[in-house]
Protein backbone atom coordinates (compact mmCIF):
# COMPACT_ATOMS: atom_id res chain seq x y z
CA UNK A 1 0.00 0.00 0.00
CA UNK A 2 1.33 3.44 -0.92
CA UNK A 3 2.07 6.19 1.57
CA UNK A 4 -0.81 8.16 0.06
CA UNK A 5 -3.16 5.23 0.67
CA UNK A 6 -1.90 4.81 4.24
CA UNK A 7 -2.42 8.50 4.82
CA UNK A 8 -5.92 8.29 3.39
CA UNK A 9 -6.75 5.32 5.64
CA UNK A 10 -5.30 7.10 8.68
CA UNK A 11 -7.22 10.21 7.82
CA UNK A 12 -10.38 8.16 7.32
CA UNK A 13 -9.86 6.39 10.65
CA UNK A 14 -9.26 9.71 12.34
CA UNK A 15 -12.43 11.14 10.87
CA UNK A 16 -14.34 8.03 11.95
CA UNK A 17 -13.06 8.32 15.52
CA UNK A 18 -13.90 12.01 15.53
CA UNK A 19 -17.42 11.26 14.29
CA UNK A 20 -17.82 8.51 16.90
CA UNK A 21 -16.65 10.84 19.66
CA UNK A 22 -19.01 13.51 18.43
CA UNK A 23 -21.92 11.04 18.44
CA UNK A 24 -20.97 9.80 21.91
CA UNK A 25 -20.86 13.37 23.17
CA UNK A 26 -24.30 14.11 21.77
CA UNK A 27 -25.84 10.93 23.17
CA UNK A 28 -24.48 11.78 26.61
CA UNK A 29 -26.92 14.65 27.03
CA UNK A 30 -30.70 14.46 26.61
CA UNK A 31 -32.62 17.05 24.69
CA UNK A 32 -33.77 20.23 26.45
CA UNK A 33 -36.82 19.79 28.67
CA UNK A 34 -38.93 22.04 26.45
CA UNK A 35 -38.98 20.90 22.80
CA UNK A 36 -39.32 24.55 21.73
CA UNK A 37 -35.70 25.08 22.80
CA UNK A 38 -33.97 24.75 19.43
CA UNK A 39 -31.60 26.79 17.21
CA UNK A 40 -34.62 28.83 16.08
CA UNK A 41 -35.35 29.97 19.63
CA UNK A 42 -33.37 33.13 19.00
CA UNK A 43 -33.67 36.68 17.72
CA UNK A 44 -33.69 37.28 13.99
CA UNK A 45 -30.62 39.49 14.15
CA UNK A 46 -28.53 36.52 15.29
CA UNK A 47 -29.08 34.93 11.88
CA UNK A 48 -28.61 38.18 9.96
CA UNK A 49 -25.32 38.73 11.82
CA UNK A 50 -24.32 35.13 11.10
CA UNK A 51 -24.87 35.83 7.41
CA UNK A 52 -22.83 39.02 7.61
CA UNK A 53 -20.02 37.13 9.38
CA UNK A 54 -20.15 34.43 6.70
CA UNK A 55 -20.26 36.98 3.89
CA UNK A 56 -17.20 38.73 5.32
CA UNK A 57 -15.32 35.47 5.85
CA UNK A 58 -15.27 36.06 9.63
CA UNK A 59 -17.65 33.29 10.68
CA UNK A 60 -14.82 31.04 11.87
CA UNK A 61 -13.06 33.74 13.92
CA UNK A 62 -12.45 32.44 17.45
CA UNK A 63 -14.60 34.48 19.83
CA UNK A 64 -15.00 34.55 23.60
CA UNK A 65 -18.26 35.74 25.16
CA UNK A 66 -19.07 36.25 28.85
CA UNK A 67 -22.58 35.72 30.21
CA UNK A 68 -23.10 37.77 33.37
CA UNK A 69 -25.49 40.18 35.08
CA UNK A 70 -24.91 43.71 36.34
CA UNK A 71 -26.99 43.90 39.53
CA UNK A 72 -28.31 41.43 42.09
CA UNK A 73 -32.10 41.03 42.06
CA UNK A 74 -34.67 41.86 44.75
CA UNK A 75 -32.46 44.54 46.31
CA UNK A 76 -30.20 41.78 47.63
CA UNK A 77 -26.50 41.05 47.58
CA UNK A 78 -26.40 37.61 46.00
CA UNK A 79 -27.86 35.55 43.17
CA UNK A 80 -28.11 31.78 42.70
CA UNK A 81 -27.11 30.47 39.27
CA UNK A 82 -29.52 28.20 37.43
CA UNK A 83 -30.03 27.05 33.85
CA UNK A 84 -26.65 25.49 33.01
CA UNK A 85 -27.94 21.98 32.33
CA UNK A 86 -30.53 23.23 29.84
CA UNK A 87 -27.83 25.23 28.03
CA UNK A 88 -25.62 22.16 27.72
CA UNK A 89 -28.56 20.08 26.49
CA UNK A 90 -29.18 22.73 23.82
CA UNK A 91 -25.65 22.77 22.45
CA UNK A 92 -25.39 18.97 22.60
CA UNK A 93 -28.37 18.82 20.25
CA UNK A 94 -27.67 21.98 18.24
CA UNK A 95 -28.42 21.14 14.61
CA UNK A 96 -30.73 22.91 12.16
CA UNK A 97 -33.29 20.62 10.53
CA UNK A 98 -34.13 20.87 6.86
CA UNK A 99 -37.56 22.39 7.49
CA UNK A 100 -35.92 25.00 9.72
CA UNK A 101 -33.41 25.81 6.97
CA UNK A 102 -36.31 26.20 4.54
CA UNK A 103 -38.05 28.60 6.90
CA UNK A 104 -34.90 30.69 7.28
CA UNK A 105 -34.55 30.76 3.49
CA UNK A 106 -38.12 32.09 3.24
CA UNK A 107 -37.50 34.98 5.65
CA UNK A 108 -33.99 35.74 4.33
CA UNK A 109 -34.54 35.33 0.57
CA UNK A 110 -31.67 37.59 -0.49
CA UNK A 111 -29.01 35.50 1.26
CA UNK A 112 -26.75 33.35 -0.91
CA UNK A 113 -27.41 29.61 -1.09
CA UNK A 114 -23.93 28.90 0.26
CA UNK A 115 -24.94 30.41 3.60
CA UNK A 116 -27.74 27.90 4.01
CA UNK A 117 -25.33 25.10 3.15
CA UNK A 118 -23.14 26.45 5.95
CA UNK A 119 -26.10 26.43 8.35
CA UNK A 120 -26.84 22.80 7.44
CA UNK A 121 -23.39 21.80 8.62
CA UNK A 122 -23.00 23.77 11.85
CA UNK A 123 -23.08 22.26 15.31
CA UNK A 124 -21.36 23.02 18.61
CA UNK A 125 -18.47 20.57 18.31
CA UNK A 126 -16.01 23.50 18.20
CA UNK A 127 -17.64 25.33 21.10
CA UNK A 128 -16.29 25.32 24.65
CA UNK A 129 -18.36 26.26 27.69
CA UNK A 130 -16.73 27.14 30.99
CA UNK A 131 -19.22 27.76 33.75
CA UNK A 132 -19.81 28.18 37.43
CA UNK A 133 -21.59 25.13 38.82
CA UNK A 134 -25.37 25.28 38.87
CA UNK A 135 -26.73 26.11 42.30
CA UNK A 136 -23.75 28.32 43.20
CA UNK A 137 -24.11 31.80 44.64
CA UNK A 138 -22.91 34.35 42.08
CA UNK A 139 -22.34 38.09 41.93
CA UNK A 140 -22.53 40.97 39.44
CA UNK A 141 -19.93 41.29 36.67
CA UNK A 142 -18.41 37.85 37.37
CA UNK A 143 -19.01 35.57 34.35
CA UNK A 144 -21.51 32.83 35.05
CA UNK A 145 -20.48 31.24 31.76
CA UNK A 146 -17.64 31.77 29.30
CA UNK A 147 -18.50 30.56 25.82
CA UNK A 148 -15.75 30.14 23.21
CA UNK A 149 -16.00 29.10 19.59
CA UNK A 150 -16.59 30.26 16.01
CA UNK A 151 -18.14 33.70 16.33
CA UNK A 152 -21.16 32.99 14.11
CA UNK A 153 -22.07 29.84 16.04
CA UNK A 154 -21.56 31.35 19.49
CA UNK A 155 -23.60 34.38 18.45
CA UNK A 156 -26.51 32.03 17.66
CA UNK A 157 -26.32 30.77 21.26
CA UNK A 158 -26.70 34.21 22.83
CA UNK A 159 -30.48 34.54 22.95
CA UNK A 160 -31.34 30.95 23.97
CA UNK A 161 -28.64 30.96 26.65
CA UNK A 162 -29.98 34.20 28.09
CA UNK A 163 -33.51 32.84 27.94
CA UNK A 164 -32.49 29.65 29.75
CA UNK A 165 -30.41 31.39 32.43
CA UNK A 166 -32.28 34.61 33.23
CA UNK A 167 -35.52 33.20 34.64
CA UNK A 168 -33.86 30.09 36.08
CA UNK A 169 -31.41 32.17 38.12
CA UNK A 170 -34.06 34.72 39.11
CA UNK A 171 -36.57 32.20 40.47
CA UNK A 172 -33.84 30.10 42.14
CA UNK A 173 -32.68 33.25 43.91
CA UNK A 174 -36.25 34.08 44.90
CA UNK A 175 -36.65 30.60 46.36
CA UNK A 176 -33.35 30.90 48.26
CA UNK A 177 -34.45 34.24 49.72
CA UNK A 178 -37.72 32.69 50.91
CA UNK A 179 -35.73 29.81 52.43
CA UNK A 180 -33.50 32.26 54.30
CA UNK A 181 -36.37 34.26 55.77
CA UNK A 182 -38.37 31.13 56.70
CA UNK A 183 -35.39 29.42 58.31
CA UNK A 184 -33.99 25.93 57.90
CA UNK A 185 -36.48 24.27 60.26
CA UNK A 186 -39.59 25.12 58.23
CA UNK A 187 -40.86 23.21 55.20
CA UNK A 188 -41.36 25.22 52.02
CA UNK A 189 -43.91 24.02 49.48
CA UNK A 190 -44.16 25.42 45.96
CA UNK A 191 -47.81 25.92 44.96
CA UNK A 192 -47.33 28.20 41.95
CA UNK A 193 -48.36 26.23 38.86
CA UNK A 194 -51.77 27.87 38.42
CA UNK A 195 -50.25 31.36 38.64
CA UNK A 196 -47.11 30.74 36.58
CA UNK A 197 -46.49 32.27 33.15
CA UNK A 198 -47.61 29.34 31.05
CA UNK A 199 -46.67 25.65 31.17
CA UNK A 200 -42.94 26.23 30.73
CA UNK A 201 -42.96 28.87 33.45
CA UNK A 202 -44.70 26.42 35.76
CA UNK A 203 -42.32 23.54 35.06
CA UNK A 204 -39.22 25.73 35.30
CA UNK A 205 -40.45 27.34 38.52
CA UNK A 206 -40.96 23.98 40.23
CA UNK A 207 -37.52 22.78 39.17
CA UNK A 208 -35.58 25.86 40.20
CA UNK A 209 -37.55 26.56 43.38
CA UNK A 210 -36.54 23.08 44.50
CA UNK A 211 -32.93 23.90 43.63
CA UNK A 212 -33.22 27.11 45.66
CA UNK A 213 -34.27 25.30 48.82
CA UNK A 214 -37.95 24.40 48.61
CA UNK A 215 -38.87 20.94 49.85
CA UNK A 216 -41.72 19.90 47.57
CA UNK A 217 -44.06 20.99 44.79
CA UNK A 218 -47.72 20.50 43.94
CA UNK A 219 -46.76 20.23 40.23
CA UNK A 220 -47.21 16.57 39.25
CA UNK A 221 -45.47 16.95 35.88
CA UNK A 222 -42.40 18.49 37.53
CA UNK A 223 -42.37 15.73 40.12
CA UNK A 224 -42.28 13.15 37.35
CA UNK A 225 -39.67 14.95 35.25
CA UNK A 226 -37.22 15.90 37.98
CA UNK A 227 -37.93 13.61 40.92
CA UNK A 228 -39.12 16.47 43.13
CA UNK A 229 -41.17 15.36 46.17
CA UNK A 230 -44.88 16.04 45.65
CA UNK A 231 -47.32 17.48 48.17
CA UNK A 232 -50.99 18.43 48.23
CA UNK A 233 -54.18 18.37 50.26
CA UNK A 234 -57.61 19.38 48.97
CA UNK A 235 -59.40 22.57 47.98
CA UNK A 236 -62.25 24.64 49.38
CA UNK A 237 -64.34 23.28 46.51
CA UNK A 238 -63.93 19.75 47.85
CA UNK A 239 -65.21 20.84 51.26
CA UNK A 240 -68.15 22.84 49.94
CA UNK A 241 -69.15 20.07 47.52
CA UNK A 242 -70.50 17.98 50.43
CA UNK A 243 -73.93 18.55 51.95
CA UNK A 244 -73.76 16.02 54.79
CA UNK A 245 -72.49 12.64 55.97
CA UNK A 246 -75.40 10.86 54.26
CA UNK A 247 -73.51 11.31 50.98
CA UNK A 248 -70.75 8.98 52.16
CA UNK A 249 -71.72 5.60 50.75
CA UNK A 250 -68.76 3.42 51.74
CA UNK A 251 -68.10 3.98 55.44
CA UNK A 252 -65.68 1.10 56.00
CA UNK A 253 -62.00 1.57 56.77
CA UNK A 254 -59.44 -1.13 57.43
CA UNK A 255 -57.11 -0.53 60.37
CA UNK A 256 -53.55 0.53 59.59
CA UNK A 257 -52.11 -2.89 60.46
CA UNK A 258 -54.87 -4.72 58.58
CA UNK A 259 -56.01 -6.62 61.68
CA UNK A 260 -59.55 -5.23 61.79
CA UNK A 261 -62.17 -3.34 59.81
CA UNK A 262 -64.20 -0.40 61.06
CA UNK A 263 -67.60 -0.82 59.39
CA UNK A 264 -68.85 2.69 60.20
CA UNK A 265 -66.00 5.18 60.25
CA UNK A 266 -68.54 8.03 60.06
CA UNK A 267 -70.07 7.06 63.40
CA UNK A 268 -66.60 6.73 64.92
CA UNK A 269 -65.79 10.29 63.83
CA UNK A 270 -69.07 11.59 65.24
CA UNK A 271 -68.43 9.89 68.58
CA UNK A 272 -65.05 11.58 68.85
CA UNK A 273 -66.59 14.94 67.99
CA UNK A 274 -69.09 14.46 70.82
CA UNK A 275 -66.23 13.71 73.22
CA UNK A 276 -64.45 16.92 72.19
CA UNK A 277 -67.60 18.99 72.58
CA UNK A 278 -68.42 17.46 75.95
CA UNK A 279 -64.93 17.64 77.47
CA UNK A 280 -64.83 19.71 80.66
CA UNK A 281 -61.08 20.32 80.37
CA UNK A 282 -61.68 21.88 76.95
CA UNK A 283 -64.29 24.10 78.64
CA UNK A 284 -66.95 23.31 76.06
CA UNK A 285 -65.13 25.56 73.64
CA UNK A 286 -67.06 24.32 70.63
CA UNK A 287 -70.73 24.11 69.83
CA UNK A 288 -72.19 22.70 66.66
CA UNK A 289 -69.71 22.42 63.82
CA UNK A 290 -70.45 22.54 60.11
CA UNK A 291 -71.67 19.04 59.23
CA UNK A 292 -70.96 19.34 55.51
CA UNK A 293 -67.34 20.16 56.37
CA UNK A 294 -67.23 17.17 58.71
CA UNK A 295 -68.53 15.00 55.87
CA UNK A 296 -65.83 16.31 53.54
CA UNK A 297 -63.05 15.68 56.06
CA UNK A 298 -64.39 12.19 56.80
CA UNK A 299 -64.63 11.34 53.12
CA UNK A 300 -61.09 12.56 52.46
CA UNK A 301 -59.76 10.55 55.41
CA UNK A 302 -61.47 7.42 54.06
CA UNK A 303 -59.69 8.00 50.75
CA UNK A 304 -56.32 9.08 52.17
CA UNK A 305 -55.99 7.69 55.72
CA UNK A 306 -52.18 7.74 55.63
CA UNK A 307 -51.93 11.36 54.52
CA UNK A 308 -54.86 13.24 56.01
CA UNK A 309 -54.16 16.97 56.02
CA UNK A 310 -57.27 19.15 56.07
CA UNK A 311 -57.95 22.67 54.81
CA UNK A 312 -59.81 24.10 57.81
CA UNK A 313 -60.83 27.62 56.80
CA UNK A 314 -63.71 27.01 54.37
CA UNK A 315 -66.25 28.09 57.02
CA UNK A 316 -64.90 28.97 60.47
CA UNK A 317 -61.43 27.87 61.54
CA UNK A 318 -61.87 27.72 65.32
CA UNK A 319 -65.59 26.98 65.62
CA UNK A 320 -65.74 24.31 62.95
CA UNK A 321 -62.55 23.52 61.03
CA UNK A 322 -60.29 22.65 63.96
CA UNK A 323 -62.78 20.53 65.97
CA UNK A 324 -63.93 18.69 62.84
CA UNK A 325 -60.31 17.94 61.93
CA UNK A 326 -59.53 16.74 65.44
CA UNK A 327 -62.54 14.41 65.46
CA UNK A 328 -61.42 12.79 62.21
CA UNK A 329 -57.78 12.67 63.35
CA UNK A 330 -58.73 10.97 66.63
CA UNK A 331 -60.85 8.42 64.77
CA UNK A 332 -57.91 7.67 62.47
CA UNK A 333 -55.63 7.36 65.48
CA UNK A 334 -57.94 4.75 66.99
CA UNK A 335 -57.40 2.66 63.85
CA UNK A 336 -53.62 3.08 63.98
CA UNK A 337 -53.24 5.95 61.49
CA UNK A 338 -51.58 9.27 62.16
CA UNK A 339 -53.13 12.39 60.64
CA UNK A 340 -50.67 14.83 59.06
CA UNK A 341 -52.15 18.17 60.08
CA UNK A 342 -54.04 21.22 58.83
CA UNK A 343 -53.69 24.01 56.29
CA UNK A 344 -54.68 27.63 56.93
CA UNK A 345 -55.38 29.66 53.80
CA UNK A 346 -56.88 32.85 55.20
CA UNK A 347 -57.19 35.03 58.27
CA UNK A 348 -54.61 36.00 60.87
CA UNK A 349 -52.12 33.20 60.31
CA UNK A 350 -49.99 34.01 63.35
CA UNK A 351 -52.98 34.03 65.72
CA UNK A 352 -54.81 31.07 64.20
CA UNK A 353 -51.71 28.87 64.10
CA UNK A 354 -50.94 29.68 67.74
CA UNK A 355 -54.48 28.94 68.94
CA UNK A 356 -54.62 25.75 66.85
CA UNK A 357 -51.36 24.53 68.36
CA UNK A 358 -52.64 25.14 71.89
CA UNK A 359 -55.78 23.17 71.12
CA UNK A 360 -53.78 20.28 69.66
CA UNK A 361 -51.75 20.12 72.87
CA UNK A 362 -54.97 20.23 74.90
CA UNK A 363 -56.34 17.30 72.88
CA UNK A 364 -53.10 15.38 73.45
CA UNK A 365 -53.36 15.93 77.19
CA UNK A 366 -57.11 15.24 77.41
CA UNK A 367 -57.12 11.97 75.49
CA UNK A 368 -53.53 10.81 76.04
CA UNK A 369 -52.67 10.79 72.32
CA UNK A 370 -48.87 11.08 72.23
CA UNK A 371 -47.63 13.49 69.55
CA UNK A 372 -51.03 15.00 68.74
CA UNK A 373 -49.76 18.43 69.75
CA UNK A 374 -47.12 18.23 67.02
CA UNK A 375 -49.59 18.17 64.14
CA UNK A 376 -48.19 19.96 61.08
CA UNK A 377 -49.67 23.41 60.55
CA UNK A 378 -49.29 24.62 56.98
CA UNK A 379 -50.00 28.22 55.98
CA UNK A 380 -50.68 29.59 52.52
CA UNK A 381 -52.62 32.68 51.30
CA UNK A 382 -50.49 34.79 48.93
CA UNK A 383 -47.35 34.56 51.06
CA UNK A 384 -44.04 36.22 50.24
CA UNK A 385 -40.79 37.18 51.94
CA UNK A 386 -42.34 40.16 53.66
CA UNK A 387 -45.33 38.31 55.12
CA UNK A 388 -43.19 35.41 56.35
CA UNK A 389 -40.81 37.89 57.96
CA UNK A 390 -43.79 39.60 59.61
CA UNK A 391 -45.09 36.26 60.90
CA UNK A 392 -41.68 35.53 62.40
CA UNK A 393 -41.73 38.84 64.25
CA UNK A 394 -45.31 38.33 65.48
CA UNK A 395 -44.68 34.78 66.64
CA UNK A 396 -46.47 31.82 65.06
CA UNK A 397 -46.78 28.03 65.10
CA UNK A 398 -46.59 27.40 61.35
CA UNK A 399 -44.47 24.40 60.33
CA UNK A 400 -44.76 24.71 56.55
CA UNK A 401 -45.40 27.53 54.11
CA UNK A 402 -47.17 26.99 50.80
CA UNK A 403 -46.07 29.75 48.43
CA UNK A 404 -47.24 30.37 44.89
CA UNK A 405 -47.84 33.66 43.08
CA UNK A 406 -45.08 35.82 44.55
CA UNK A 407 -42.58 32.99 44.23
CA UNK A 408 -43.00 31.68 40.70
CA UNK A 409 -43.84 34.99 39.03
CA UNK A 410 -40.94 36.71 40.81
CA UNK A 411 -43.48 39.39 41.65
CA UNK A 412 -40.90 41.63 43.32
CA UNK A 413 -38.71 41.80 40.19
CA UNK A 414 -39.67 40.77 36.69
CA UNK A 415 -36.26 39.95 35.19
CA UNK A 416 -32.62 39.41 36.15
CA UNK A 417 -30.99 41.16 33.21
CA UNK A 418 -28.17 38.81 32.21
CA UNK A 419 -26.14 39.94 29.19
CA UNK A 420 -23.86 38.13 26.71
CA UNK A 421 -20.87 40.26 25.75
CA UNK A 422 -17.93 39.74 23.41
CA UNK A 423 -14.71 40.03 25.43
CA UNK A 424 -12.11 38.63 23.03
CA UNK A 425 -11.80 37.70 19.35
CA UNK A 426 -8.82 35.99 17.74
CA UNK A 427 -6.87 36.58 20.95
CA UNK A 428 -7.56 40.34 21.00
CA UNK A 429 -9.50 41.82 23.95
CA UNK A 430 -12.77 43.61 23.18
CA UNK A 431 -14.66 46.10 25.34
CA UNK A 432 -18.12 47.65 25.20
CA UNK A 433 -18.09 51.27 26.37
CA UNK A 434 -21.07 53.27 27.59
CA UNK A 435 -22.07 56.64 29.01
CA UNK A 436 -23.35 54.54 31.90
CA UNK A 437 -20.24 53.15 33.58
CA UNK A 438 -22.21 50.18 34.95
CA UNK A 439 -22.66 48.99 31.37
CA UNK A 440 -18.96 49.02 30.48
CA UNK A 441 -17.91 45.43 29.85
CA UNK A 442 -14.79 43.83 31.30
CA UNK A 443 -12.64 42.56 28.39
CA UNK A 444 -10.35 39.56 27.89
CA UNK A 445 -10.68 35.87 28.58
CA UNK A 446 -10.75 35.50 32.35
CA UNK A 447 -10.26 33.10 35.17
CA UNK A 448 -12.41 33.59 38.25
CA UNK A 449 -11.74 32.60 41.85
CA UNK A 450 -13.59 32.76 45.14
CA UNK A 451 -11.43 33.59 48.13
CA UNK A 452 -12.41 32.39 51.60
CA UNK A 453 -11.37 33.69 55.02
CA UNK A 454 -10.49 31.97 58.28
CA UNK A 455 -14.10 31.47 59.37
CA UNK A 456 -15.02 29.72 56.12
CA UNK A 457 -17.04 32.61 54.71
CA UNK A 458 -16.46 33.82 51.16
CA UNK A 459 -14.52 37.11 51.18
CA UNK A 460 -14.78 38.10 47.52
CA UNK A 461 -14.65 36.96 43.92
CA UNK A 462 -11.46 37.66 42.03
CA UNK A 463 -11.02 37.88 38.25
CA UNK A 464 -7.65 37.57 36.54
CA UNK A 465 -6.40 37.34 33.00
CA UNK A 466 -6.32 33.81 31.62
CA UNK A 467 -2.52 33.55 31.75
CA UNK A 468 -1.98 35.21 35.12
CA UNK A 469 -0.89 32.98 38.01
CA UNK A 470 -3.76 31.93 40.26
CA UNK A 471 -4.06 33.32 43.79
CA UNK A 472 -2.49 31.14 46.44
CA UNK A 473 -3.57 30.28 49.95
CA UNK A 474 -1.73 32.46 52.45
CA UNK A 475 -0.46 34.85 49.76
CA UNK A 476 -1.11 38.59 50.17
CA UNK A 477 -3.07 39.82 47.14
CA UNK A 478 -3.88 43.40 46.18
CA UNK A 479 -7.46 43.51 44.89
CA UNK A 480 -9.32 46.38 43.28
CA UNK A 481 -12.89 47.18 42.23
CA UNK A 482 -13.23 47.32 38.42
CA UNK A 483 -14.83 50.77 38.28
CA UNK A 484 -14.16 52.51 41.60
CA UNK A 485 -10.47 53.26 42.13
CA UNK A 486 -11.01 54.03 45.82
CA UNK A 487 -12.18 50.49 46.58
CA UNK A 488 -9.10 48.34 47.03
CA UNK A 489 -7.74 46.01 49.68
CA UNK A 490 -5.10 43.43 50.45
CA UNK A 491 -6.51 39.95 51.03
CA UNK A 492 -4.85 36.82 52.41
CA UNK A 493 -7.12 33.88 51.45
CA UNK A 494 -7.31 30.74 53.55
CA UNK A 495 -8.98 28.81 50.74
CA UNK A 496 -9.17 29.42 46.98
CA UNK A 497 -11.86 27.98 44.70
CA UNK A 498 -11.68 28.30 40.91
CA UNK A 499 -15.17 29.05 39.67
CA UNK A 500 -15.20 28.49 35.90
CA UNK A 501 -14.99 24.82 34.97
CA UNK A 502 -15.29 23.19 31.55
CA UNK A 503 -18.74 21.65 31.05
CA UNK A 504 -18.53 21.33 27.26
CA UNK A 505 -17.20 19.52 25.28
CA UNK A 506 -18.23 16.47 27.23
CA UNK A 507 -15.06 14.45 26.62
CA UNK A 508 -13.02 16.74 28.87
CA UNK A 509 -15.71 18.54 30.79
CA UNK A 510 -17.23 18.34 34.24
CA UNK A 511 -20.17 16.01 34.74
CA UNK A 512 -23.45 17.88 35.00
CA UNK A 513 -24.74 17.56 38.56
CA UNK A 514 -28.16 16.14 39.37
CA UNK A 515 -30.89 18.46 40.58
CA UNK A 516 -30.38 17.10 44.10
CA UNK A 517 -26.66 17.86 43.89
CA UNK A 518 -27.31 21.40 42.65
CA UNK A 519 -29.78 21.91 45.51
CA UNK A 520 -27.15 20.73 47.99
CA UNK A 521 -24.63 23.06 46.33
CA UNK A 522 -27.02 25.96 46.77
CA UNK A 523 -27.56 25.23 50.46
CA UNK A 524 -23.81 24.86 51.02
CA UNK A 525 -22.98 28.13 49.28
CA UNK A 526 -25.64 30.02 51.21
CA UNK A 527 -24.18 28.64 54.45
CA UNK A 528 -20.80 30.05 53.39
CA UNK A 529 -22.18 33.58 53.15
CA UNK A 530 -22.21 35.98 56.05
CA UNK A 531 -25.69 36.58 57.46
CA UNK A 532 -25.40 40.35 57.02
CA UNK A 533 -24.97 39.86 53.25
CA UNK A 534 -28.25 37.94 53.18
CA UNK A 535 -30.51 40.27 55.13
CA UNK A 536 -33.85 41.00 53.47
CA UNK A 537 -33.47 44.72 54.12
CA UNK A 538 -30.26 46.75 53.81
CA UNK A 539 -27.83 43.85 53.33
CA UNK A 540 -24.11 44.54 53.60
CA UNK A 541 -22.65 44.89 50.07
CA UNK A 542 -20.57 42.00 48.74
CA UNK A 543 -17.27 42.64 46.97
CA UNK A 544 -16.16 42.14 43.38
CA UNK A 545 -12.55 42.92 42.57
CA UNK A 546 -9.86 42.48 39.93
CA UNK A 547 -6.27 41.43 40.45
CA UNK A 548 -3.62 44.10 39.82
CA UNK A 549 -2.12 43.15 36.44
CA UNK A 550 -5.47 42.30 34.90
CA UNK A 551 -6.95 45.63 35.94
CA UNK A 552 -4.13 47.51 34.23
CA UNK A 553 -4.64 45.62 30.97
CA UNK A 554 -8.39 46.15 31.24
CA UNK A 555 -8.02 49.94 31.51
CA UNK A 556 -5.46 49.96 28.73
CA UNK A 557 -7.95 48.14 26.53
CA UNK A 558 -10.49 50.83 27.32
CA UNK A 559 -8.20 53.42 25.78
CA UNK A 560 -7.86 51.65 22.42
CA UNK A 561 -8.69 54.17 19.71
CA UNK A 562 -10.85 51.89 17.60
CA UNK A 563 -13.13 51.11 20.52
CA UNK A 564 -13.41 54.56 22.11
CA UNK A 565 -15.66 55.78 19.30
CA UNK A 566 -17.86 58.61 20.54
CA UNK A 567 -17.36 57.96 24.23
CA UNK A 568 -17.70 61.31 26.00
CA UNK A 569 -14.67 63.42 26.86
CA UNK A 570 -15.62 63.28 30.54
CA UNK A 571 -15.52 59.48 30.59
CA UNK A 572 -12.28 59.50 28.60
CA UNK A 573 -10.60 61.79 31.13
CA UNK A 574 -11.98 59.75 34.06
CA UNK A 575 -10.64 56.52 32.57
CA UNK A 576 -7.22 58.10 31.96
CA UNK A 577 -7.20 59.29 35.56
CA UNK A 578 -8.03 55.79 36.78
CA UNK A 579 -5.21 54.32 34.70
CA UNK A 580 -2.71 56.88 36.05
CA UNK A 581 -3.96 56.45 39.61
CA UNK A 582 -3.74 52.68 39.52
CA UNK A 583 -0.38 52.63 37.75
CA UNK A 584 1.02 54.76 40.58
CA UNK A 585 -0.67 52.55 43.15
CA UNK A 586 0.81 49.35 41.74
CA UNK A 587 4.30 50.86 41.84
CA UNK A 588 4.09 51.41 45.59
Q: What is the average pLDDT across 540-565?
A: 59
Domain interval for residue 560: 31-175+414-587
Asked if the model's pLDDT at residue 563 lies above 50, the reply is: no
Instruction: Specify the range with the lowest mean pLDDT, choosing from 100-109, 249-258, 429-438, 520-529.
Output: 429-438
Asked if the model's pLDDT at residue 570 lies above 80, the reply is: no
For 55-99, write each residue's pLDDT tens digit. Answer: 999 999 999 999 999 999 999 999 999 999 999 999 999 999 999
320 shares its domain with 434: no
Percent of the chain with pLDDT over 70: 87
270 backbone dihedrals φ, ψ, rounded to 5°: -65, -35
Instruction: Specify the range with the lowest mean pLDDT, choosing from 50-54, 214-218, 352-356, 579-583.
Output: 579-583
Q: Is residue 162 part of a domain?
A: yes
320 shares its domain with 450: no
339 shares its domain with 245: yes
List Cα–Cα distances, 530 to 436, 457, 481, 527, in angstroms: 30, 6, 20, 8
Q: Is residue 80 part of a domain?
A: yes
Q: Is residue 277 part of a domain?
A: yes
419 shares its domain with 375: no
Asked if the model's pLDDT at residue 487 lies above 90, the reply is: no
Specify the pLDDT at position 429.
93
Q: Is residue 520 part of a domain?
A: yes
Q: What is the average pLDDT across 176-198?
A: 97
40 shares its domain with 153: yes
276 shares its domain with 153: no
Q: Is residue 201 part of a domain?
A: no
449 backbone dihedrals φ, ψ, rounded to 5°: -135, 150
166 shares its domain with 267: no
371: domain CATH number?
A: 3.20.20
Q: Cβ distance 73 to 172 under 8 Å?
A: no
DSSP string, 451-513: EE-TTS-EEEEEEEETTSPPP-TT--EEEE-SS-TT-EEEE--SEEEE--EEEESTTTSPPPP
445: domain CATH number?
A: 3.20.140.10
Specify the pLDDT at position 12.
47
For 12-56, write each residue's pLDDT tens digit. Answer: 444 554 454 444 444 567 899 999 999 999 999 999 999 999 999
User: Which runs of consecutive H residues, i.e. helices, occur in 108-150?
Assistant: 113-121
Asked if the model's pLDDT at residue 555 lies above 70, the reply is: no
SS3 per residue for 519-577: HHHHHHHHHCCCHHHCCCCCCCCCCEEEEHHHHHHHHHHHCCHHHHCCCCHHHHHHHHH
Percent of the chain with pLDDT over 90: 78
119 vs 585, higher pLDDT: 119
Asked if the model's pLDDT at residue 1 lies above 50, the reply is: no
Nearest-5° Cα angle at 524, 523 to 526? 65
Q: What is the average pLDDT across 472-485?
A: 85
pTM above 0.85, yes or no: yes
Total domains in the fold of the chain? 2
Amino acid sequence: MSMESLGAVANSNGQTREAEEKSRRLLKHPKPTNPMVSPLLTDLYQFTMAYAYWKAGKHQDRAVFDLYFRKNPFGGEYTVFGGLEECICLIANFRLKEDEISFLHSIMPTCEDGFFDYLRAIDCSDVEVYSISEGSTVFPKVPLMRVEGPVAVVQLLETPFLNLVNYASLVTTNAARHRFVAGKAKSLLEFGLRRAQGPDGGISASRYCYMGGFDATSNVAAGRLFGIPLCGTHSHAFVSSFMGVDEILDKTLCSCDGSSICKDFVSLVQSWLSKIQGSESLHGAFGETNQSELAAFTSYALAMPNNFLALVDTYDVMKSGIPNFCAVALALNQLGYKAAGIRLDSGDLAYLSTVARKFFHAIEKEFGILGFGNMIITASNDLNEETIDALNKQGHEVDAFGIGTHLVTCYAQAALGCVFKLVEINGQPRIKLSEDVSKVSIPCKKRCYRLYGKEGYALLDLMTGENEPPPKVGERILCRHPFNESKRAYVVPQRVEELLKCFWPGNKGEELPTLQTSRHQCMKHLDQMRRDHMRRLNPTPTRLVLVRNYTTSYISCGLTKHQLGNWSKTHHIKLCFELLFFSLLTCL
